A and B are shown apart, each in its own frame.
Chain A
Amino acid sequence: MRSEALDITIESRKDTIWIVLSGPFHNEQVPNIREKIEGLIEDGNRQMVLDMELVTEVGDAAVPMLLNELSLVRGKGGEIRMIFKNPIVTTAFAAYRNIFRIYPDSGSLARGGWLGAFKYRRWQLSRKTGVRLSRPVALVLLVVLGGWFISLGFIIMLQHGRIRDQQRDVQELTQWKQQTLLELQSLRERLLPLEQLGIIPDTAADSIP
């Protein structure tokens, strides 16, 4: 009885075989599902979608079995994509979510990879944090945060420009100082013989208090 609790629907949509599971996925059901997936692979199907949204329980052996099947189909150049967002299945697959390609619903799957993955991530974060934002609120928050970051960047950029200007001024003044000192030194060296002959008084010595 337990081994027959899971309802299975297999159908073709475009070039993909959809397997829709519904009900409790007990360990007793694992050989049956394995046989069906392997049968489908043997029949030449490479692209499969496993919809587990209506699964109400997941046995310990179910996920390892699906990992094996995924590895088998990938070895033959195919892929098994999964659809679910119900908490029970999400928890069961949490450790392997980077291995499986998981989509929250058939719409995300149809729209494509990046957007679907983004949506799934968004949904996962929403589940984890418990924060759910409506679209208008999210948009306002995005604009406010975006504006804040842009203003911050602009201020940093202005400050950065001023600092560079000051550095350049300091550098120029330093160079001018060194050049002036060198010129002063050369003038002193030229006056030194005249001072030694007493033609002109030693002003440098007088200026020293």
Chain B
Amino acid sequence: MKRNAVALLVHPFKNRLIGRSELKKSIDTCLKNILELASEYQNIRLNVAVPGYMLELVDPLLRTSLRDVHKRGGIEWLATGFTEPFLSMSPRWLSRENIKDGIDMFLQHLGAKPAGFVPAFSNWEPSAIDMLRELGLQYAVLSRNLFSGECRTRCGCWATEHSGSSIVLFPVHGFHHYTAPANLEEWLHMQFAQDPDDTEENQGFSPMKIVTIHYLMPIESSGADPLRWLSSTVKMFDKLLLSYQTVRFGEYLSGGQVLGLQYIPPSLMFASDNSDTVHSFWNWLFTYDQVGVLHRRMMEVCDAVAGRPEARLREKLISQLYYVQDINRFLPGAESGFPHLADRLWTYRRLIDIDRAIHDADRVKGGQIRIVDYLRNGGKSIIMSNAALKLCIDHRNGGSVFEFDYKERSVNLTAGYDSRRHAVPNIRVPGKSKSAFTDRMLRHGTGPEDFMAGQFTEIGDFVGGRFDYKIKKTGSTAKAVLSRQGVLVQDGRNCPMHMEKVYSLENDNSAVSFVYQLSNHSLTAYRLTFAVELCFALPGAGAGLARIVSGKDVFRKPETDRFSFKERTEVVLEDRKAGFRITLATQKPVDVWCYPLIDPARKSGYQGTAVILSVPLALEGSSSWTLMGKCMVRRARPAGESDDAV
């Protein structure tokens, strides 16, 4: 009887952000378990994929033992990179550096070069073949769902080609410990039986068949023990040595043949239970809030880092970018990814730190204004920054501030998240995507309850309207003046309304001055409620470390409570986890409404706090109304440990 081959790829992965010491302990335990299995069952061959940054943390004695097992052929190493780069979303040069550094980690710590590449979530880019071959990788391992339907049942490997370069691909069956088949023997028998070449007459002539199993093993698991399935599987293969031969991928390649040529388009296999993959995954991803802004921010930072002339600084910043370009940051996972406030803020923090280092190296004093196609949507965004703050203004969509960074604490204050998906894959949807200084014209008499319940009528066209802009720059001040001649609905009729708003950064202070001027150039009197919406992310909410204060009123549960203040000139949002205090001060008294942004799908559903500064207005004909204010951000004493995770 001919033996069939089975390649078992074990892939420890980090399913959420965890602290460095905790990670070290977990990865040690995980690799120790794998090592014990490989040592106990010497006839079993394992393929193991580990990101480079985890190898750095592995206990040196354990590394020595792993080296020995590799030397006797018990394990073949596969690289994912230094982290797990999102090939489709990152600049190619950064992915290359990431994978190269990942390979170097194997050489440095385990004395062996990985033979193949495992793109996380089977994120495949055909144009990366050149890069992989250049880095000395012989094959890549992808989900079998990426292959065309008729080829999925074939038990073997394929070659793929793009622009003259080719590489071998192993289609794998991806399993987690909760999706893995209970009766593996039966499952394997079925897989081999499905192969159309597995007929009696072909038995003696067809190449050795192989079924590959990609076992994703979380290094931190609160539920069932992921090692249990692996142990039982290894034990089973040891018993069935006469039927199934466990192989290393490289070993199979040296003796086996590829089944043919396959073209795999750029792909992403997000959910393991998907029967098919979506090749237009970009569109799918950008129907989520915040991920587009995160991506644009990363690309901007990458461009800035690539252009730095200082080699030492560039090296340092690139190594920080490896963590940012990790695919787990950009996918909506159950325990990681951008929909989680802590994860999102962590990514922003890394990017802001890099940005700050570049700003310091440029020795820019007194602020900077950039007018660039930041969102890559064909229009310009205005980016104002100084040593303490950075504001990204989308003048084409309501002139709101979609990113507001407080550099001293490396926090994006407007990292709030709306869990409702976008109807079209736009990076931002005006009025829906969370931002600051979103201007709403509401029907006169709209109260906080109506607004918080979403039962309000917008009677202006300023939320998503296009604003004209002018910029002003002196040695110490940067200003953006936005103006729009818009429409206000009064008694069913469209009436003209002019709005001018000014954002100003002075010196290198951590304060933004803002001025609103609403002008009624008609002879009709207008009645409306003018509301300025600001969404802030308070990471300390939920842990009792965030509060909202106005005068003597203190609200300590911004993650659940809704509240409003009447006629206030100052409201303070304090977060002691991140260590900042936002003071919103206005020259005229305004009503303040606050409510939490909740994502019902998440365990900790808090995604930010919306603060609305509202004023009931009666604007006479040929008159104007002005509101001046300041948004000051100061450092506060941070309480508790920073969850500096990797």
Contact = CB atoms under 8 A, between A and B. Distances in A.
Contact of B364 (A12, A15, A40, A43): A12
Interface residues of A, number: 21
Interface string A159-183: 0000000000000000000000000
A45 B474 contact: yes
A36 interface: yes
Contact of B473 (A4, A12, A15, A35): A12
Contact of B378 (A1, A9, A12): A1
A205 B373 CA distance: 115
Nearest to B365: A12
A17 interface: yes
B364 A7 contact: no
A191 B599 CA distance: 143
Interface string B247-289: 0000000000000000000000000000000000000000000
Given A11-B364, A14-B365, A43 B474 contact: yes
B475 interface: yes
Nearest to A4: B380
Contacts of A112: none
Contact of A11 (B369, B379, B470, B472): B369
B420 interface: no
A9 B369 contact: yes
Contacts of B471: 10, 36, 39
Given A1-B378, A13-B364, A8 B473 contact: no
Contact of A12 (B371, B379, B475): B475
Contacts of B470: 35, 39
A200 to B, nearest CB: 105
B626 interface: no
A75 interface: no
A36 B471 CA distance: 7
A44 interface: yes
B373 A4 contact: yes
A85 to B, nearest CB: 15
Given A4-B379, A13-B364, A13-B365, A39 B370 contact: no
Interface in B343-373: 362-373
Interface in A6-38: 7-15, 17, 22, 35-36
Contacts, number: 61
Interface in B96-139: none
B378 A44 contact: no
A11 B373 contact: no
Interface in B462-515: 470-476, 478
Given A36-B471, A40-B473, A12 B366 contact: yes
Nearest to B380: A4
Given A17-B473, A36-B471, A44-B474, A8 B371 contact: yes
B457 to A, nearest CB: 33
Contacts of B473: 10-12, 17, 40, 43, 45
A9 B370 contact: yes
A10 B372 contact: no
A8 B370 contact: yes
Given A4-B380, A36-B471, A11 B368 contact: yes
Contacts of A8: 370-372
A64 B476 CA distance: 30
Given A12-B365, A13-B364, A43 B370 contact: no
A13 B361 CA distance: 12
A22 B378 CA distance: 15
A40 B364 CA distance: 17
Nearest to B473: A10
Contacts of B472: 39, 43
A22 to B, nearest CB: 8
B502 to A, nearest CB: 14
Given A43-B473, A45-B474, 7 more contacts: A1-B378, A8-B372, A9-B369, A10-B370, A11-B367, A12-B474, A36-B471
In the complex, the 10 A-B pairs of residues with the closest C-beta atoms, listed nearest first: A11-B368, A12-B366, A7-B372, A8-B371, A9-B370, A10-B369, A11-B364, A10-B473, A43-B474, A12-B475
28 contacts: A1-B378, A4-B378, A4-B379, A7-B370, A7-B372, A7-B373, A7-B380, A8-B371, A9-B368, A9-B370, A9-B371, A9-B372, A10-B369, A11-B364, A11-B369, A12-B364, A12-B473, A13-B363, A13-B364, A13-B365, A17-B475, A36-B471, A39-B470, A39-B471, A39-B472, A44-B474, A45-B474, A45-B475
Interface of B: 362-373, 378-380, 470-476, 478
